[in-house]
Chains A and B, each alone.
Chain A
Amino acid sequence: MSGAPPPPGDPPGGPGDDGDDARDLLAAEYALRLLEGEELLHARGLAGTDAGFRAAVEAWERRLAPLAETVAEVDPGPEVWARIERAVAAETAAGTGAQAGADEPARDNVVALKRRERLWRGLAGTMAALAAGLALALYLAVAQPDPTGAPPTAGAPAPSLVAALAADDGTAALAIAYEAERGSVLVTPTLLQPAAGHDHELWLIAGEGAAPVSLGLVRTTAPQRLAVPAAARGGIRPAATLALSVEPTGGSPTGAPTGPVIASGPLQPL
């Protein structure tokens, strides 16, 4: 057991350290965003896979957060809000996969999905079975024009491909269904922890060696629909992989995954 503290400059949390203190310092440094390079990748990996480390990071974020209270306020001017309004309106429109005329409002779907979500959280069974069942149930729910629960209209096609994404340590799970007509994926998080300061981003990897394509950020608490870019739709086929990574808030700044992949799974025919 090492009695000496690590020499200045060495990252804490390495072998031979006084483990808990060093890990907690690393969590503080990560929360403060002091880290770069190798140290940052190491800490990010821990944050993606180690719930205890994540908890330590969140504790430090809570300790430090009140410092922001003394920052001087600055009026941003009216133009920024106008841009935000437009961006949000555009996202809402894209999120419904709007087709001319016929769709029920997206928010009604989300409310209906949320009601069912409470049932889904209690489901047992293998991840694959869960995903297939959820994906079908999700699809039937949104295909219903009648919110009172009438059966789907004849001819409403079932989703063709589904995926179950699960982390090895059971800390994350997503059920995904591809809706070919809308060109979007329906994502239901069944076990996903929000991570302060980070977002979860979903990636499509069309085949061996293909570059991951971002499908967007995944909310941890509610089912949602993500539009698949038209250029990427050709990559949605059996054996393509979907992967979930932990990214800085707002998603990867580079267009490729920068954080650890915490769950992945292949697309499979239903």
Chain B
Amino acid sequence: MDRTPPQAAREREQLSLALARVAQGSQAALAEVYGKTSAKLFGICIRILEERSEAEDALQEIYVNVWRKAGSFDPAKASPITWLAALARNRSIDRRRSLRSRGASAPVEEALDLADDRPDALARLEAAEEGSRIAACLSELEGRQDRAIRAAFYEGLSYPELALRLAVPLGTVKSWIRRGLLRLKDCLER
């Protein structure tokens, strides 16, 4: 059920229209999309890549990709900001893993402080009001399931990286995440 207020619905429609104009070759429309979304997407890149210049390179690649594949955005299937955010997340993760496999020195991997990644009660309430059911459902999971899934999503960590970061065996983190995902799906389908 779509509970987005009228303002959000209007913004969503304007962004979808701008993407359609990008698909037709309008660089001005790309500038509009950038103006409205770059801070959010840059936030996503920074969270995953941790280093500003890497995040800038990723952001550049992301919007060049938006230029190339705006035609594949289908407003019936997704909201424009989630489509863009997914592009940003995927590109940042690709870049992060490519850096790692090229042997680039990794940013200092601090042990993930499991305590500080869960949103507080107010943020959860806001998420619930915005219609973000997944945030509400995540908060119903066991703490370590919730935190592991969030680390995967927000930090872009793979299973082996998570095991390292959380200092637990690979099998353990897999079982946390799998159980968490099953319960998440149940909760979302209620």
- Interface residues of chain A, those whose CB is within 8 Å of chain B, are 7-9, 12, 21, 24-25, 28-29, 32-36, 58, 61-77, 79-81, 83-85, 87-89, 91-92, 106-107, 110-111, 194, 196-197, 199, 217, 219-222, 248-250, 253-254
| A36 & B134 in contact (Cβ 8 Å cutoff) | no
A110 to chain B: closest residue by CB: B25
B19 at the interface (CB under 8 A from A): no
Q: Given A73-B42, A248-B90, A253-B94, are A36 and B71 also a contact pair (CB < 8 Å)?
A: no
Among B38, B62, B71, B85, the residue within 8 A (CB) of A65 is B85
Residues of B within 8 A of A62 (CB): 78, 82
B10 close to chain A: CB less than 8 A: no
Residues of B within 8 Å of A9, CB to CB, are 169-171, 174
B87 within 8 A of partner (CB): yes
Beta-carbon contact of B90 and A67 below 8 Å: no
- Give Cα distance in the complex from A62 to B184, angstroms: 13
Most buried by B among A29, A36, A68, A220: A68
The reply to whether A33 and B156 contact each other, CB–CB distance below 8 Å, is yes
A100 to B43, alpha carbons, bound, how many Å?
A: 42
Q: Which residues of B contact A88 (CB under 8 A)?
A: 27, 30, 63-64, 67
Contacts of B154 in A (CB 8 A): 67, 71
Please, what's the 1-or-0 string for B34-66, where 1 marks a CB less than 8 Å from any CB in chain A? 100011101110110000000110011111110
Residues of A within 8 A of B177 (CB): 29, 32, 34
6 more contacts with CB within 8 A, not counting A71-B40, A85-B27, A248-B90, are A34-B152, A62-B78, A70-B135, A74-B46, A76-B39, A76-B59
| A36-B159, A199-B69 known; A64+B153 contact, CB < 8 A | yes
In-complex Cβ contact of A71 among B43, B65, B162 (8 A):
B43
- In the assembled complex, the CB of A252 is this many whole angstroms from the nearest CB of chain B, namely 10
From 119 to 170 in chain B, residues with beta carbon under 8 angstroms from any chain A beta carbon are 119, 123, 127, 130-135, 138, 149-150, 152-154, 156-160, 162, 169-170
Whole-angstrom CA separation of A72 from B77 in the bound complex? 25
- Beta-carbon contact of A70 and B174 below 8 Å: no
A91 to B170, CA, bound (A): 43
A172 to chain B, nearest CB (A): 14
Closest to A253 in B: B98
Q: List residues of chain B with CB under 8 Å of any chain A CB.
A: 23-25, 27, 30-31, 34, 38-40, 42-44, 46-47, 55-56, 59-65, 67-69, 71-72, 74, 77-78, 81-83, 85-87, 89-91, 93-95, 97-98, 119, 123, 127, 130-135, 138, 149-150, 152-154, 156-160, 162, 169-172, 174-175, 177-178, 181-182, 184-185, 188
Complex Cα gap A73–B44 (Å): 8
Residue contact A33 to B65, C-beta cutoff 8 Å: no
In the bound complex, how far is the Cα of B45 from the Cα of A75, in angstroms? 12
Question: How far, in Å, is A76 (CB) from chain B's closest CB?
Answer: 4
User: Bound complex: CA of A221 vs CA of B94, how far in Å?
Assistant: 24
**A28 B181 Cβ-Cβ under 8 A:** yes
Q: What are 14 of the A-B contact pairs (CB < 8 Å)?
A: A7-B171, A63-B134, A65-B78, A66-B133, A67-B153, A68-B40, A73-B39, A81-B31, A88-B30, A91-B68, A197-B86, A217-B69, A219-B68, A250-B61
Task: Tell whether, in the assembled complex, residue B40 and residue A84 are in contact, meaning their CB atoms are under 8 Å apart.
Answer: no
Closest to B133 in A: A66
Given contacts A12-B178, A250-B61, contact A74 B43 (CB under 8 A): yes
Q: Which residues of B contact A25 (CB under 8 A)?
A: 178, 181-182
A64 and B134 contacting across the interface, CB-CB below 8 Å: yes
Judging by beta carbons under 8 Å apart, are A107 and B24 in contact?
yes
Q: Chain B CB within 10 Å — which of A36, A70, A111, A248 has the most?
A: A70
How many angstroms between the C-alpha atoms of A107 and B22 in the bound complex?
Answer: 12
Q: Contact: B153 with A250, CB < 8 Å? A: no
Q: Are B72 and A217 in contact (CB under 8 A)?
A: no
In the bound complex, CA of A42 to CA of B90 (Å):
18
Chain A residues with CB under 8 Å of B174's CB are 8-9
Q: Please measure, in the bound complex, the distance between the C-alpha atom of A21 and the C-alpha atom of B185, giving whole angstroms.
A: 11
Bound-state Cα–Cα, A114 to B56, Å: 34
A70 and B119 contact, Cβ closer than 8 Å, known pairs A33-B93, A91-B67: yes
**B134/A249 in contact, CB under 8 A:** no
CB-CB under 8 A from B71, the residues of chain A are 219-222
